[in-house]
């Protein structure tokens, strides 16, 4: 025990913030007024701390074997200091891609995808409401101005996407994985499109359907409880968005996914894919056990790809990528806003989660989300994961389509239209 305590003391001295530990026997290690206090209830967690196995340490927190006190921002600084190396580095064998593809195929059947989406998004609408903006936009915001609030930045993101797609009144528009309907309704109310949204979440479907009815938009907005693979519209769509959804598709299905978007899109139309991308070229998930933690407690079946691989798969499906934008630091700020909001409402979050579950499970969900939101914020800040908006077109083969000869789509091949003064809302 004495040798282990010496190792712990040495490890704590290496961290960028002050951390104190209370061991199972009651002994204290570290400064009395530390920024972060960890009450360790089994010595296995102490060994994981020394080894930098932060994913396993996070699991111990969720399962109640480690109790944390202190700001999540300070805790994440300590976590970053514990990692033994860059978590985006890949240490794969030649057969690793084959195994990864087989696992991806097995994890992303229609049935498994529906279960995995419901596992995350159907936790509790009231829980998400506590820390999201009033529109419940559960994706990266766009801080067009540095002094924007989260709510303002989310509206800026919704409009940024609509501008990039150059939405026009009356156009047939599809939002794949529409969440709680913020983008779907924004596009209908501000751009006058005929909007269709699809989701696999029962809670989200019911919420969006209620909003459509309350706002009297039933004549031009619909939401379907539908897998993207099963959508068969009477007519193709002229514009398509997919926001925060393709992370759930799986690498093995990516070309087929973009192929389906290609089939759903009218020749000459535009599709915008907004999603989390890997920070490294080859890593299947973050190291240090962080990817395993997310897989177990937050996003089962979630898979990330470097944006260069996303561009490859889009091209293989026949789509032409015409604009790529990274919003990585925007997502770090968004996640810290969510984390801070949740930290300010922990007691209310416990009540909400307990109302739909037993107290033990509710506490585990809350602990997992506290680590997930702050850990992802840290990861985006440090470039371990990223966020890209990729705008693509379906070339129609007609050299006279568009503003410029050879455009073969409605994309004008310049960005001024995205940032110019918008016409009055419809």
Q: Which residues are catalytic?
A: 376
Report how far residue 64's alpha carbon sits from residue 60's, in angstroms, rounded to the nearest whole number.
6
Interacting residues of 210 by C-beta distance below 8 A, sequence separation 6+: none
Cα atoms in the Cβ-side hemisphere of radius 13 Å centred on 58:
35
If residue 389 lies in a helix (H) or strand (E), which one and from where to where?
Answer: strand 385-393
d(CA 127, CA 121): 10
CA separation for the pair 276, 213 (Å, rounded): 32
Q: What are phi and psi of 420, to 5 degrees?
A: -70, 165
The answer to whether the CB of 314 falls within 8 A of the CB of 258 is: yes
H or E element at residue 11? helix 2-13
The span from the CA of 306 to the CA of 324, in Å, is: 13
Distances (CA, A) of 293 to 16, 115, 176: 23, 18, 27
Report which of 325, 339, 336 is spatially closest to residue 387, judged by C-alpha positions: 325
* Cα–Cα distance, 14 to 137 (Å, whole number): 38
Say if residue 371 is exposed, middle or buried (CB neighbours under 10 Å; 0-12, 13-18, 19+). Answer: buried
For 275-296, letters b (16+ CB in 10 Å) and e give: bbbbbbeebbbbbbbbbbbbbe
């Amino acid at each position: 025990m004495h040798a282990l305590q010496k190792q712990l003391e040495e490890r704590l001295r290496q961290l960028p913030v002050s951390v104190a530990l209370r061991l199972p026997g009651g002994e204290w290690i570290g400064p009395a007024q530390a920024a972060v206090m960890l009450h360790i209830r089994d010595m296995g967690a102490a060994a994981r701390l020394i080894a930098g196995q932060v994913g396993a340490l996070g699991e111990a927190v969720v399962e109640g074997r480690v109790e944390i006190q202190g700001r999540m921002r300070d805790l994440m600084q300590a976590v970053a200091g514990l990692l033994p190396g860059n978590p985006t580095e890949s240490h794969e064998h030649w057969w690793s891609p084959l195994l990864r593809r087989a696992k991806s195929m097995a994890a992303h059947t229609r049935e498994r995808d529906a279960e995995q989406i419901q596992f995350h998004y159907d936790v509790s609408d009231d829980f998400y409401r506590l820390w999201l903006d009033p529109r419940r936009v559960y994706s990266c915001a766009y801080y067009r101005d540095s002094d924007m609030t989260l709510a303002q930045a989310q509206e800026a993101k919704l409009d940024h996407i609509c501008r990039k797609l150059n939405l026009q009144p009356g156009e047939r528009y599809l939002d794949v994985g529409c969440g709680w309907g913020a983008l779907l309704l924004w596009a209908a109310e501000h751009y006058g499109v005929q909007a269709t949204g699809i989701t696999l979440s029962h809670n989200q479907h019911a919420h969006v359907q209620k909003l459509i009815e309350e706002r009297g938009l039933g004549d031009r907005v619909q939401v379907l409880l539908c897998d993207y693979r099963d959508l068969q519209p009477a007519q193709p769509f002229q514009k398509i968005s997919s926001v925060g959804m393709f992370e759930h598709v799986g690498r093995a299905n990516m070309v087929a996914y973009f192929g389906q978007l290609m089939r759903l899109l009218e020749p000459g139309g535009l599709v915008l894919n907004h999603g989390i991308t890997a920070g490294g070229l080859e890593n299947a998930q973050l190291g240090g056990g962080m990817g395993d933690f997310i897989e177990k407690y937050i996003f089962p079946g979630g898979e990330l790809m470097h944006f260069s691989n996303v561009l490859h798969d889009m091209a293989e499906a026949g789509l032409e990528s015409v604009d790529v934008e990274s919003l990585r630091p925007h997502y770090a700020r968004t996640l810290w806003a969510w984390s801070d909001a949740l930290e300010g409402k922990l007691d209310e979050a416990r009540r909400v989660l307990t109302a739909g579950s037993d107290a033990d499970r509710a506490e585990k969900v809350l602990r997992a989300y506290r680590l997930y939101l702050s850990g992802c914020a840290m990861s985006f800040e440090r470039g371990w994961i990223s966020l890209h908006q990729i705008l693509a077109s379906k070339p129609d083969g007609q050299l006279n389509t568009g503003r410029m000869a050879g455009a073969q789509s409605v994309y004008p091949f310049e960005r001024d239209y995205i940032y110019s003064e918008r016409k009055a809302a419809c």
